[in-house]
Chain A
Amino acid sequence: MVPRAKSGRGGAAATALLPVLLLATLFGVPSARAADDLGDLSLEELLEIEVLTVSRQEQDLLGVPAAVAVISREDIRRSGVSTVTEALRLVPGVQVSRINANAWAVSARGFAGRLSNKLLVLVDGRSIYTPTFSGVHWEALDLVLEDIERIEVVRGPGGALWGTNAVNGVINIITRDARDTRGVLVSTGGGSRTDGAATVRIGRGSEESAWRVYAKALQAQGFDLEGGRAAPGETRRRQVGFRTDHELGEFGSWRLQGDWYDFDLEESIDTPSLAAPYVQPTCYANRIHGGNLLAEATIERHGMWKLRAWYDDAGRESGFFNDHRRSFELDLQHGFTRGRHHLMWGAGWRRALAEIEDTPFIQYHGRGQNNLWTAFLQDRISLADDHLRLDLGLRAEDHPFNPVDWQPSVRAAWTPNVARTTWASLTRAVRSPAAMDRAVGGIFDIVPPSTATMGLPLVVRALPGGHSVGSEVLIATEMGHRQQIGSSWQVDLSLFHHDYRDITTYTLLDPVVRPDGPHLEQPVRRANGIEGVAAGAELGVAWQALSDWRMRLHYSLTSLDLEAQDTTNPVYAGDLRRAEESTPRHVAQWISWFDLGPRLELDTVLTVYSRNHAQEIAPWVRWDARVGWHLAPGLEMSVVGQNLLRSHHREWTGLLNETPKAPGRILYVGLTWRRSGW
């Protein structure tokens, strides 16, 4: 075992001192007692005070010691997106690349990929991250966009509060309470890629208890290939679902929700073969279907109790890959206050069953089921008259065949007044090995013959890592500042430094000549083989220029520097390069929402990306625009153009050999009719 270079390790101790130093500095200076008690002022004085408007959303974010961004309902509506995944483009630091009509690569702060495995994604508390393939199947996520309350995005490790796998970020999609969606919603549309889309939602009930049901369907075509030739990608989606919310006695509430879906998604994959031309674009008809059910009860008695149970069944059938995953999870959380301390603790159990059918390309060598236990504890301490908040948290996770993973975090936020917060955090986060690392193997790639391969085709065969694959570890140092300037400017800045160790990759074994073909085989084995550093910043500036014109400027800087951990054990350079260079270093975005009179809305998003080295994409500009028109009370029409500047533009070439598509200009016209109440 070669000793690892002690590069960033010493710095970890220095920054562990950060929160301690924060405290020391504060207690050393006169405490900042602003004249907060307005009750002592006279009426005349009160009427003279200048007030700052902080929206409920901003109020919730104020004082949070993390790089949180919130995509509100208005953001989703005015961006004109038709899927939740596309809405995530609005957050600096989150990278969304559209691979084809039904696939996306989404990640935060680097490590981009279709199966980007360092992101936890939740819908109302249910994790949609699949532990089998350690990724999120974004194509299986379909929601009624108008019924999303908000999307909270935390860049960086989620800290002790969030569930498993919150390493580079957490995306929490929260749907609206059924009591807020009483009434009818009908939405239809079509466009250049969409043959037709329709959504109907009906909600009934009262302020105490209500339910809603919805049905949605979509028929769309795929994107062209880079040269402009048409490619398969026909999409047919059908989904129904419901949600019901009730008051529980005087002190609580409970809810039940579920969805059932059946999608037919076509996808073209460059299928490897041993004979010339070694790669054959083949059309696969994927059938993705399943359902989920979630129940949650919240009671405010002796603190706040939350009990949640969910079940998720997801199946995927295609020629390339077939699997059927079932998961069940039970979670309990309790929070209570004792003096200056607000304590939260929780425990959870998840059971996952996976049945994976072997195909010539992918083989599964493991047991189909596993249990996961997790528990967390967090103490939120209020100091300096509520101006300083200190969060001390610890999460423990127990995966099969893995020693217990500990994820401690220390976070501090200083909020001297309603206008600003400065925060810093130090966290250890862990990604535990998934079936993909331990048990999945198959043909990774087939390289046509060349002189380097002795005139034989080269087959890169991936071998599963087995139980020797351990957890990936991240030690993250972050800090940030949020400020409201005057009544119309807001600035949100986050800086991060991530120190990674034991990132899984493919290590090279000795190549072998195989008689069938004949061909040269390069076996690669999944192992913990990469370490490195990611550093950067995210900046968001919001400006309410006029009462009907709101603008935002976003900028993100992401820089990764990775290398093989053990120089005597070489890694598959393609994987390393992809992990390091698939995120553009600079991304800048300008968002403008303008209300022209009471009926018209003119919205624009302009995004500039710097070079994407691993994907070989030159710097480019993306322009999305929307015109919204309030035709009558409750009736709204929108005309949306996405990626207007390019007729074809490839954003991503997948590792799974998807034939490179070039999603270009899309036009969509939608009509939505709403009526509240019943």
Chain B
Amino acid sequence: MVNIVVRHRVRRDGVLGRAARARSIRAATLVLALLSVALAPIRAHATAKDEYEVRAALLYNITRFVSWPDSTFQSASSAVVIGVLSPDPFGDKLDRVLHGRRTSGDRPLRALEIRTLDEARACHVLFVSEEAERSHAALLAALDTAPTLLVGESLDFVRGGGGAFALWRDEGKVARIELHLNASEVEEAGLEVRSQLRRLCEAVEGYPAR
């Protein structure tokens, strides 16, 4: 009987048979999984935070120290509307920070994703990410002196881009978010920024913060 196509398999398993090896791999996997999970809670308090969680908290704080004229609200209990120009980089982080909180004027807060000019005009605060700044140039140019506070991410935005505030990431030895304020843009929008916020802001070149 011709049987040339079958070779005897040389067992290269060494000391452990294949079955035992499979079991020991499983055991090792189990031990590793348990170890990593057991160690996890100890290290859960990380010092570094997600930059958008920080920006969301800063946006909330901006609404605490800025006053909008009454004409921008329909009633005494109308919410302060924080618009986020599409695409929304926050996910649910902004909603989580705003949940259950109110401004100093005891108004509720609401976050919305904004796509059109009309929607943008209806906001008290409009957050413009770097990506949104690029893709909505026309919309931003059309958003003139409405009392909408423009908050961006880039320094260019406050230096003549129409932005009042920039939540800019400073890449020093340690990365932090800085608040940059263009005071003349705020004045043009007819808004007031209280000193508790003003004194913590960096001035934009050529535009005094105070």
A-binding segment of B71-79, B154-162, B174-182, B183-191: B174-182
B58 proximity list for chain A (CB < 8 A): 43, 46-47
From B2-10, B120-128, B143-151, the one touching the partner chain is B2-10
A131 to B162, CA, bound (A): 57
Contact yes or no, A25 B34, CB < 8 A: yes
Whether the Cβ atoms of B48 and A520 lie closer than 8 Å is no
Beyond known contacts A18-B30, A18-B33: 16 more, CB 8 A cutoff: A38-B57, A49-B177, A51-B51, A51-B54, A52-B175, A414-B40, A417-B46, A418-B49, A418-B50, A419-B46, A422-B36, A497-B25, A497-B29, A499-B22, A547-B171, A563-B9
Q: Which of A562-621 contact B (CB under 8 A)?
A: 563, 570, 572-574
Q: How far is the CB of B199 from chain A (nearest CB, A)?
A: 10
Q: Does B37 belong to the interface (CB within 8 Å)? A: yes
CB distance from A29 to the nearest CB of B (A): 5
A306 within 8 A of B: no
**A417 with B44: in contact, given A14-B27, A26-B37 (CB under 8 Å)?**
yes
A473 to chain B, nearest CB (A): 15
- Contact residues in A for B197 (Cβ distance below 8 Å): 43
Residues of B within 8 A of A533 (CB): 18, 21-22
Q: Are B44 and A47 in contact (CB under 8 A)?
A: no
With most chain A CB atoms within 10 A of its CB, the pick from B4, B5, B21, B30 is B5
- Determine if B174 and A50 form an interchain contact, defined as CB atoms under 8 angstroms apart: yes
Cα–Cα, bound, A533→B19 (Å): 10
Nearest CB of chain A from residue B40's CB, rounded to whole Å: 5
A22 lies within 8 A of B33 (CB): yes
Give the residues in chain A near B210, CB-CB below 8 Å: none
The verdict on B142 contacting chain A, using a C-beta distance below 8 Å, is no
User: Which residues of A are found within 8 Å of B6, using beta-carbon distances?
Assistant: 508, 570, 573
Known: A8-B22, A416-B46. A573 touches B5 (CB 8 A): yes
Whether A32 and B40, one on each chain, are in contact in the complex, defined by CB atoms closer than 8 angstroms, is: yes
Would you call B15 an interface residue if the criterion is a C-beta within 8 Å of the partner chain's C-beta atoms?
Answer: no
Which residues from A are CB-within-8-Å of B115? 207
Interface residue total, chain A, C-beta cutoff 8 A = 73
CA distance A39 to B169 in the complex (A): 19
A208 to chain B, nearest CB (A): 9
Does B4 lie within 8 Å of A452, measured CB to CB? yes
CB-CB < 8 A to B18: which residues of A? 7, 533, 561, 563
Q: At the interface, yes or no: A522 with Cβ under 8 Å from chain B?
A: yes
Is A5 an interface residue, CB under 8 A from the partner? yes
**Neighbouring A residues of B13 by C-beta, 8 Å:** 561
What 0/1 pattern do residues 83 to 100 of B give for CB contact below 8 A with A? 000000101000011100
Considering the complex, give the chain B residue whose CB is closest to the CB of A547: B171
Does any Cβ of B come within 8 Å of A227's Cβ? no
Give the distance in Å from the alpha carbon of A5 to the alpha carbon of B22 in the complex. 13
Min CB–CB distance B188 → chain A (angstroms) = 24
Q: In the complex, are the beta carbons of A6 and B19 less than 8 A apart?
A: yes
Contact pick for B2, options A39, A499, A520, CB 8 Å: A520
CB distance from B175 to the nearest CB of A (A): 5
A50 CA / B174 CA spacing, docked (Å):
6
Contact status B40-A53, CB under 8 Å? no
CB distance from B86 to the nearest CB of A (A): 8
In the complex formed, the residue of B with least CB distance to A574 is B5
- Return chain B residues, CB-CB under 8 Å to A570: 6
* Residue A30 at the chain B interface, CB threshold 8 Å: yes
Closest residue of B by beta carbon distance from A54:
B50
Chain B, Cβ-Cβ closest to A39: B97
Known: A422-B36, A460-B5. A26 touches B41 (CB 8 A): yes
Mind listing 8 A-B residue pairs with CB under 8 Å? A5-B19, A18-B33, A26-B41, A32-B44, A38-B97, A47-B178, A49-B177, A50-B47
Of A6, A32, A39, A522, the most chain B CB neighbours within 10 A belong to A39
Q: Does A516 contact B (CB under 8 A)?
A: no
A283 at the B interface (CB under 8 A): no
Q: What residues of chain B lie closer than 8 Å to A52, measured between beta carbons?
A: 48-51, 175
Q: Is the CB of A15 within 8 A of B26?
A: yes
Are A21 and B34 in contact, with the CB atoms below 8 A? yes
Is A53 a contact of B51 with CB atoms below 8 Å? Answer: yes
Nearest Cβ in chain B — how far from A483, in angstroms?
10
Q: Kindly provide the distance from the CB of B203 to the nearest chain A CB, expressed in whole angstroms.
A: 15
Do residues A51 and B33 form an inter-chain contact, with CB atoms below 8 A? no
- On whether the beta carbons of B1 and A511 are closer than 8 Å, the reply is yes
A11, B40: Cα distance in complex, Å: 26
Shortest CB-to-CB span from B194 to chain A, Å, is 11
Quote the shortest CB–CB distance from B117 to chain A (angstroms).
11
The 9 A-B residue pairs whose C-beta atoms are closest, nearest first, are A32-B44, A38-B57, A11-B26, A416-B44, A8-B22, A51-B51, A7-B19, A417-B46, A418-B50
